[in-house]
Structure 1
Amino acid sequence: MFTLFKRVLIGQPLKSKDLGEQKLNKTKALAILSSDALSSVAYGPEQILLVLMALGAAAYWLSIPIAVGILVLLVALVLSYRQIIFAYPHGGGAYVVSKENLGVNSGLLAGGSLLVDYILTVAVSISAGTDAITSAFPSLHGYNVLIACLLVVLITILNLRGLTESASVLAYPVYLFVAILFLTIAVGLYKVLTGQISPELHTSFGTPIAGLSLFLLLRAFASGSSALTGVEAISNAIPNFKSPAPSNAAKTLAAMGILLAILFSGIVFLAYYYGISPKTEETVVSQIASATFGRGIMYYIIQGITAMILVLAANTGYSAFPLLAVNLAKDKYIARMFTVRGDRLGYSNGILFLATASILLIIMFKGQTEHLIPLYAVGVFIPFTLAQTGMLVKWLREKPAGWRVKLTINAIGAAISFLVMIIFFITKFPQVWPVLIFLPLIVLFFRSIHKHYEDVGDQLRISSCEPHKPIEGNVFVIPVAGITHVVENTLNYAKSLHPDQIIAVYVAFDKESEKGFEEKWSHWQPDVRLVTLYSQYRSIIQPLTKFVDTVEYKAKESNFQVTVLIPQFIPKKRWHNALHNQSSLLIRAFLLYRRDLIVTTVPYHFKK
């Protein structure tokens, strides 16, 4: 039943040789890897206005110069990451660049930041998409968290079905979103140029503002920089591109940068000219659409497509998180299960982990986008800064042809990224301080995992292990609960291996049952030694483990190996397991981690 349900949800398994067919062309890659960056224009400009709102509507003209500064940062990042794509064509982005050029700890810091950021990508995108839905339908405001969680489940299933399938679904909404925003901006500009929008709705450019400070300007700039999240995703996902992967990735990055710059500039300008002020119950894009087209069918189309792209923008996280996890897992810094491909050739363990963590975040923050965005943005600018700095070190060390130009580009990118990161910490410290705690903890966690894998390797390596003493004989201990076919099956198996000794152990809760069982056993299996243990506190585990300790101690003197054979019946239907006390599983759980003891389950399958 479960297998059938799984096949309906994610489709039939794909063969390993079909992996090449799961690569992306530039058109699909732009949709699947740029959806996060492009969709951020739906909330990036709003973040600028939320800060300027403290000074009043007269300060909204400042959004224009702030937007220009953000565009300069965008150009620097696109040029910088273009160089990373060609320098590191196998992907990995900031993690690989930082680890190779700045050291392991810097790489782990970048990798940890990005892993957290991709989780936040999903949480922020889904929450923002939910906001767009509830802006159009205010009666749904009370169900934000539930809607967001259901949307995470939906997009997770889409990704489990495979990369090309999710890209095919994503391409249409992404390009539709770009087209509808271009149309909105074009119609809005037309209305502005033809005088249909009253200039009295906004203050004049350069209007003096009381209470203006550098701190507030920097805070608005940092908040608006959240529109640049997702720029790095393409450099992390180069292996997903069709050949030649680096060239296709670079072209996709350039296309994304151009589209993002146009859409961001257009939304910021229209928001300023329309005199739009942020509202809790309605997004800025919703207000622009309403002012441009009215609350007619076109408005609901825009809101629907915006909600769709914001939800599907989470797919950037689903594309980049598993690939980054693979790089970390190959370097032994996270669990190796993240390197395993699922039935549809995607890294399904990474996808499922990402979905679970995102749902937990949405529930913790109650789906409130404005509380998630500061953590989201600062998590991006840490690896931005580390990646650009790593490239500086690389160019200074290698000095290839044209290295001075490359050095200059990365120096500008590193400086601006570092500046924005510091601004975030200074201006939004109450919201981003957890980063200073959980990122070092993540690095320590990575280190502890790496040490574990190194220790495992040392202990598995034959050349480095101490030689084991030869086994001179075997003793089998069999816990028995009665005289049954299950016990008989285990005894027959034990006898077939010809051990030196077989000991059946029965734990009795009263003296009468102890004596009665001994009599029955002597008639049924007279050639197998029976040891009965009386448990006055009705515990099976305690007396059994004490007896096993005694047998082990005596066996070591003769270099004998002790094996506990656990009889276990297997019901025909899985749900029948809930009707039994599963003593065999409990015994196994207690004995499994005991040193130098072998624990084996001997199953007996029921027929009905």
Structure 2
Amino acid sequence: MNEEQVRALRRVGRAWGRVSAQPAVWRRALPLEPDVGRFPVTAEAAPAWFGRLVPLPPLRTRAGDGRTAVEQGAPVPPAASRARRVLLGAPLASSAFVTERMRKLVALPVLSADALSSVAYGPEAMLAVLVLAGTVGLGYSLPVAAVIVLLMLAVGLSYRQTIRAYPHGGGSYIVAGDNLGPVPGLVAAAGLLTDYVLTVAVSIASGVAAITSALPGLTPWRVPLGVAVILVLLAGNLRGIRQAGALFAAPTYAFVVAMGALIAFGLVDAARGGFAAAPAPRVPVAEAVGLLLITRAFSSGATAMTGIEAISNAVPAFRPVEWRNARTTLTWMVGLLITMFAGIVVLSHLAGVVPRAQETVLSQLAHLAFGQGWGYVYVQAATAAVLLLAANTAYNDFPRVLSLLARDDYAPKVFLRLGDRLAYSNSIVLLSLAAAAVYVAFDGRTGALIPLYAVGVFLAFTLSQTGMVVHWWRRRDAHWRKSLVFNATGAVLSGLVLLTAGLSKFTSGAWVALIAIALFLWVTTRIQRHYAIAREALRLRPHAVDIPAATGTGPLAPAVRGGGAREDLEAEEIPEEVHHLSVVAIATLDLAAMRTLAYAASLAQPVLTVHISTTDEEARRFRAYWELWGDHLPLQIVLSPYRAVVAPLVHYIETLHRLHPDLTLTVLLPEVVTRRRRHRFLHSRTATRLRRALRRLPKIVITTVPFHLPT
């Protein structure tokens, strides 16, 4: 809360004090002991095999008479939930996030798989454009490749400066937003998210192409194979960061070894012939050599740079010291990328290899180096594996960017939620669905997807590097001139690639990426506008807060604590036989929460307020605000170490019910009601989930106190 909110909270608390009974009266009225125990810490929690909630050891609860009761927890979830837990693994406590950090040897394959694997299609995409001009066009392959290598080096050095300036993670969205403003930041985020979706589609399309080059009989199954791989990636990433790294590290390193062996064998063979280039096969000339052809080839070959930003965007995922390990990993990645890209282009030039529809360039080079033996099989298998799994880089960064957008109110808050395995599960599912749709729509063809690819990534590169130029110009700290030159060079070169890609590939499909970016801007700004309206409507204002009427200044006489259970728990026939407890569940102290508290107090029945905190810090902060308000009603804070909110609330209410089955529990929740149906998914639907979870238990009533937004 800001100072204005704190002052309003104090004034509201004083108003409550004038019309409500003393806090001690409300506490004496409680028919039960609200502290029913605690959730286990990490060391006490048994491994989970099913359900959303970590299987708890018998919950230690205290009955009203001080005796210790044993609560066995919730019933076993259905078979579908058990299968989900077996597939995805046991939930991890938030404290496990430290153990989920990546060391450099794991981070390199996880975060560099996209960039390193792009040498399998980047050089081929460049040659596929140059070959349109025949042998003369192929003669420009080395100069164009040299410019691309220079661009790789400049952008790599630029992102080293970005990591130094933003040691807590400096993706294009953060850098552009901090230094250029919110709109450029959103444009950069749009470019990144578009690029990540296409990374999955293009990587899988290229991997399937590598498989069908070696096994042509699988060509008709290209689309089902790609969709199956997306499902494998989905399951692997839902298991969490460390599991994904262990799963995807081996193929990346196998690919690096395969490329090293291929380049070494190829260069040794070329050395025997004095490095004389073999004549390329005669190909029909479809286009004359010109500036447009060269720029198209340059922008196509530059797709080999996609994924360079991944490391600077994922600095928090490294082990300490995070920024230093990230810079080291980035240096390794750029060095390997330049070596492999240059090596493939040089070998293609020396061997006279040209792109063919039935066989990839890498497959042709492997045939020349190893024939049909095990060497060829290993190169193709490693290439297919790394391409199919290179999409994992997008699975690491897409959720992180989307969570930053949700934090800043540009995306639904559901994308802030960490799943059981400390992964942004909702974002991972969204990425999988979008990538599968793109892959199927373009029939899994790499050539059809490449034109969409360069626009988004180089848009993000350009805005990020331009933002860094502004950053160094404003800061002017030690070595700022050198850093500014590095970032300015990266910005100019990235801007040139963006311009050439946008112009030369507009009719080939780049317009789709541009429309997607424009649509993204429209949607995110509308979401931010709605959240701004909701935040203003929910802001505490002294004269807008509901206060319980003075005629109902306190609860009725308390029910007997620990009352005996009746044989028929739902046999009450007259009002006097119903013993009430109102349980108010709130997340924040805003107008909606205050209205719910006032409504509960006005019923003149015992009231218990429950707040679920996911961290100790959040619990302390909420307790401080509650006492600032005046501590007028009993409060129970439940600490959930597994980030869940609804499940611990359900468990707590179930425990109250089992310890006091004679009580009728009325669970009250504030509900934000929107005027437009499309805005509903932007807000929590806790009441619906509670009703579904608790409907099997008698004498539990779920009700909501609506708060209507003005628009």
Q: TM-score, normalised by structure 2?
A: 0.66
| 2:348 is equivalent to residue 264 of structure 1 | no
Letter in 2 for 1:116: T
Aligned match of 2:405: 328
In structure 2, the residue matched to 1:31 is 109
- Contact 1:132 1:286 survives alignment (8 Å): yes
Structure 2 CA distance for partners of 1:348 and 1:605, relative to 1, 3 Å: closer
Aligned partners of 2:188 and 2:463 also within 8 Å: yes
Matches for 1:419-568 after TM superposition, within 5 Å: 419-430=496-507, 431-463=509-541, 466-468=544-546
Which deviations, in whole Å up to 9, do the C-alpha atoms of 1:146-200 show, x marking residues without a partner? 1000001001111111111111122211111101110010001111111299744
Please name the residue that 1:303 is paired with. 380
Task: Extract unaligned runs of 5+ from structure 1.
Answer: 474-487, 500-558, 561-591
Matches within 5 A, 1:577-596: none
What secondary structure sits across from 2:90 in the alignment? coil
The residue that corresponds to 1:223 in the other structure is 300
Q: Do structure 1's residue 239 and structure 2's residue 316 form an aligned pair?
A: yes
Deviation of the 1:594 alpha carbon: 9.3
1:453-490 deviations in Å (ceiling 9; x for gaps): 222222222327734486899xxxxxxxxxxxxxx969
Q: CA RMSD in A?
A: 2.9
- Is 1:174 paired with 2:252? yes
Which one has the bigger helix percentage?
A: 1
What is the match of residue 386 of structure 1? 463
Distance 1:601 1:158 in 2: 32
| Structure 2 counterpart of 1:6 | 84
Q: Is contact 1:332–1:453 with CA below 8 Å preserved after alignment?
A: yes
Provide closer, same or farther for how the CA distance between residues 456 and 217 of structure 1 changes in structure 2, counting only shifts above 3 A. Answer: same
Paired residue type of 1:268? V
2:435 aligned residue: 358
Residues 240-289 of structure 1: CA deviation (Å, up to 9, x unaligned) = 00001000000100000000000000111111111111112211111111
| Paired position in structure 2 for 1:95 | 173
Displacement after TM superposition at 1:364 (Å): 1.1
Whole-angstrom distance in 2 between the partners of 1:364 and 1:489: 57
Residue 148 of structure 2: aligned partner = 70
**Is 1:284 the counterpart of 2:390 in the alignment?**
no
**What CA deviation, in whole Å up to 9, does each residue of 1:1-29 have, x standing for no partner?**
11221122111111211110000011111
Determine which of 397, 402, 426 is the counterpart of 1:349: 426
Q: Give CA-to-partner distance per residue, 1:131-158, whole Å, 9 cap, x none.
A: 1111111111111111000001001111
Unaligned runs of 5+ in 2: 1-78, 553-568, 581-601, 604-672, 677-686, 699-711
Q: For residue 399 of structure 1, report the CA deviation from its aligned partner.
A: 1.1
Decide whether aligned partners of structure 1 residues 210 and 337 sit closer, same or farther in structure 2, where only a CA change above 3 A counts.
Answer: closer
Task: Determine the C-alpha separation between the residues in 2 that align with 1:594 and 1:443.
Answer: 23
The whole-number CA distance in structure 2 between the counterparts of 1:594 and 1:380 is: 37
Q: Within 5 A, what are the aligned runs for 1:193-208?
A: 193-195=271-273, 199-202=277-280
Residues 188 and 459, structure 2, Cα contact 8 Å, conserved in 1: yes
How far did 1:378 drift?
A: 1.1
User: What's 2:328 paired with?
Assistant: 251
**Shift in alpha-carbon separation, 1:469–1:65, aligned structure 2, 3 A:** same
Match of 1:155 among 221, 224, 233: 233
| Deviation sequence 1:487-508 (CA, Å, 0-9, x none) | x969969997799xxxxxxxxx
| Residue deviations 1:391-440 (CA, integer Å, cap 9, x gap) | 11111112111111111111111110001100001111112012332212
Aligned: 1:144 with 2:222: yes
Matched AA of 2:319: K
Deviates more, 1:291-300 or 1:71-80: 291-300
SS in structure 1 at match of 2:91? coil
> C-alpha distance in 2, partners of 1:455/1:209?
57
> Whole-Å Cα distance in 1 between the matches of residues 527 and 440 of structure 2?
28
Aligned partners of 2:542 and 2:199: how far apart in 1?
A: 45
**Paired position in structure 2 for 1:165:** 243
C-alpha displacement at 1:95, in angstroms?
Answer: 0.5
Verify: 1:82 aligned to 2:160, yes or no.
yes
Report the Cα offset of residue 601 of structure 1: 6.9
Give distance in 2, aligned partners of 1:96 and 1:386: 10
Aligned-residue offset at 1:238: 0.5
1:212 Cα offset (Å): 1.4
What is the distance in 2 between the residues matched to 1:493 and 1:374?
Answer: 74
Partner of 1:129 in structure 2? 207
Give the whole-Å Cα distance in 2 for the aligned partners of 1:82 and 1:491. Answer: 71
Q: 1:373 aligns with which of 450, 453, 464?
A: 450
The 1:604/1:424 distance shift into structure 2, 3 A limit, reads closer
Alpha carbons of 1:397 and 1:363: their partners in 2 closer, same or farther (altered >3 Å)? same
- Give the aligned residue type for 1:454: A
| Worse overlay, 461-470 or 233-242 | 461-470
Q: What TM-score results when the alignment is normalised by the length of structure 1?
A: 0.77
SS in 1 for 2:498: helix
C-alpha distance in structure 2 between counterparts of 1:263 and 1:239, whole Å: 28
Distance 1:336 1:63, change over 3 A: same
Paired AA for residue 123 in structure 1: A
**C-alpha distance in 2 between matches for 1:363 and 1:489:** 55
Q: Please list the CA deviations of residues 550-575 of structure 1 after superposition, one character each: whole Å capped at 9, or x if unmatched.
A: xxxxxxxxx99xxxxxxxxxxxxxxx
Alpha-carbon separation, structure 2, partners of 1:493 and 1:304: 76
Residues in 1 aligned to 2:86 and 2:446: alpha-carbon distance in whole angstroms: 33
1:203 to 1:307, Cα distance in 2 relative to 1, 3 A: closer
Shift of 1:346: 1.4
Q: What's the offset of the Cα at 1:48?
A: 0.8
Please give the alpha-carbon distance, in whole angstroms, between the structure 2 residues aligned to 1:225 and 1:401.
Answer: 32
Say if 1:380 and 1:256 are closer, same or farther in 2 by CA, change over 3 A: same
CA contact (8 A) 1:197 1:274 kept: no
Seen in structure 2, the aligned counterparts of structure 1 residues 198 and 297 have a Cα distance that, compared at 3 Å, is: farther
**Residue 489 of structure 2 corresponds to residue 412 of structure 1:** yes
Superposition deviation, residue 202 in structure 1: 3.7
Aligned equivalents of 1:262, 1:594: Cα separation in 2: 58
What is the rounded CA distance, in whole Å, between the counterparts of 2:173 and 2:401 in structure 1?
8
Take 2:255 and 2:544, find their aligned partners in 1: how far apart are those partners?
Answer: 64
Answer with 393-402 or 308-317: which moved more. 393-402
Structure 1 Cα separation of the partners of residues 449 and 675 of structure 2: 46
Among 310, 313, 328, the alignment partner of 2:390 is 313
Cα 1:297–1:332 change in 2 (3 A) is same
Distance 1:429 1:498, change over 3 A: same
> Counterpart of 1:43?
121
Match for residue 187 of structure 1? 265
Q: How far apart, in 1, do the equivalents of 2:392 and 2:380 lie?
A: 19
CA distance in 2, matches of 1:450, 1:92: 22
Displacement of 1:118: 0.8
Q: Percent identity between the aligned chains?
A: 42
- Listed one character per residue, the Cα deviations across residues 296-353 of structure 1 (whole Å, up to 9, x for unaligned) are 2221111111000001100100111111112111111111111211111111111111
